[in-house]
Amino acid sequence: MIVIATIWILVLLAGGGFALDRVLTSAVTRNFDDQLEYVLNSLIVSAEIDSNGDVMFNRTLGDQRFLEPYSGAYWQISGKGHDPFPSRSLWDRLLKVRPDHHGTEVQTYDSHEFRDQTLRVVERDVKLPGSPTLWHFQVAQSRAMLDAQIDALRRTLVRSFLLLGLGLLVMAALQTWYGLLPLKRLRLAIAELRAGHSQRIEGEMPAEVAPMVEELNALVAHNDRQAEEARRHAGNLAHALKTPLTVIMNAATAQSDPLSETVIREARTMRRQVDHHLARARAVGRRGSAHSRAEVWPSVEAVERAVSRLYPHLRIDIDGPKDLAAHIERQDLEEILGNLVENAAKYGGGSVFVTVGAEAGFVEIMIEDDGPGIAEADRQKLFERGVRLDTGKPGTGLGLAIVRDVVEIYDGTVTLEESEDLGGLLVRLRLPAA
């Protein structure tokens, strides 16, 4: 950041200094030329033609430099067929008359005709009253004074811009150091957190860093929750498997006759428990992705095709917008929908209606069937592991329990209601919209 600020400051100061130098140099040069042009106009106003047809002045010029030899200030009047009329300061020199510099407009240029001086020359052709000759008026002055003014101006500019640049660089360095200082504090706080000396990042932070600290604290809390969930589910699974294993061990130790039946029965119980906890573990692991997103309509269609193959005589109707997306992994969404739609097909009367909608930041999916429905007192029981109201059809009783657990992991809800249109059960599934 400091290097980039340094380069940018130097570029801006160089560009601004160059532009300012051009402007001020032009202003000083223009002022110098205006003074020369004023003298030129004074010469023209004071010039007259004498009886011999030569130029003369009706008054004396007030600048004494035109009287001192090689003073650096000169004038000269030239005309075709007449000897040049120079100022006394030229002494034994004459100003060159360039053949291409003729005209009634004022012309200004630099001349190097004198080896010891660079001249700034202003000239103009004038037709004086009473003379047929076109007189060429020239006023010249050494550039030494002009160059000295420009050099002094540039020295002042360079010193000022160097001081300004140094101040800006120091300010940029201090601002960068001060601005990044909270990150150093944050790094030390994270080190304390990693070392186990603190549970979260504490202390006041600048407004620019505070959102990041909040997100870090939220991430730490999220990881703690996941670790606690993992410990709890590991304990639940161990407890759930302990009883069947104890039954099998007791049966084997007693050498009872129906040992095989006992092993098969308890193994099924263990498998249900393992399936349940594996489903939760997969959902918790996939929930860590902040970019989990699933298009709802393709998932609903995929489940509809799969269930229709299992139940050929089933009629499934789908309705709702096709552009909704939920904050959930597609695999989890299809497992949830597959479980709910299959239950509607299994326990319904042959018709299933799936409606997709959006409400208050959530994607809402309603699965309705035309079956006998479920009494309100029994609806909550279905979300408990191993509970089945209809034991005449195959199943483990873990479907809705797994659905509820996975939905809650994604901060969603699932409820059982009565279908007003089909008369059977209505399952209302709500998931955060992506």
Domain end point (choices 231, 257, 287): 287
How many CA atoms within 13 Å lie on the side-chain side of 307? Answer: 28
Q: At residue 389, does pLDDT exceed 50?
A: no
Please give the distance of CA 173 from its chain centroid, rounded to a whole number: 23
Largest interatomic CA distance in the chain: 159
Same domain, yes or no, for 394 and 326?
yes
Range with the poorest average pLDDT among 18-22, 142-146, 185-189, 414-418? 185-189
Q: What is the pLDDT of residues 406-426, one digit of tens each?
A: 888 888 998 888 888 888 889
Q: Could you tell me if residue 156 is inside a domain? A: no
User: How many domains is the chain built from?
Assistant: 3
Same domain, yes or no, for 276 and 406?
no
Mean pLDDT of the residues in the chain: 83
Q: Residue 244's domain spans which residues? A: 210-287
Q: What is the pLDDT of residues 348-375, one digit of tens each?
A: 888 999 999 998 889 999 999 988 888 7
Same domain, yes or no, for 140 and 276?
no
Q: At residue 392, does pLDDT exceed 60?
A: no
Same domain, yes or no, for 280 and 334?
no
CA 71/CA 411 separation, integer angstroms: 95
Same domain, yes or no, for 270 and 327?
no
Domain end point (choices 252, 287, 322): 287
Q: Could you tell me if residue 168 is inside a domain? A: no
Please state the pTM of the whole predicted model.
Answer: 0.48
pLDDT band at residue 166 under the 50/70/90 scheme = very high
Same domain, yes or no, for 272 and 347?
no
Q: What is the pLDDT of residue 272?
A: 67
Same domain, yes or no, for 270 and 406?
no
CATH of the domain at 10: 3.30.450
Domain end point (choices 225, 259, 287): 287
Q: Could you tell me if residue 35 is inside a domain? A: yes
Q: What is the pLDDT of residues 33-65, one digit of tens each?
A: 999 999 999 999 888 888 888 888 888 777 888
Q: Could you tell me if residue 107 is inside a domain? A: yes
Q: What is the pLDDT of residue 141?
A: 93
Same domain, yes or no, for 264 and 347?
no
Contacts of 428 (CB under 8 A, 6+ apart): 364, 365, 366, 413, 414, 415, 416, 417
pLDDT band at residue 394 under the 50/70/90 scheme = very low
Same domain, yes or no, for 255 and 328?
no
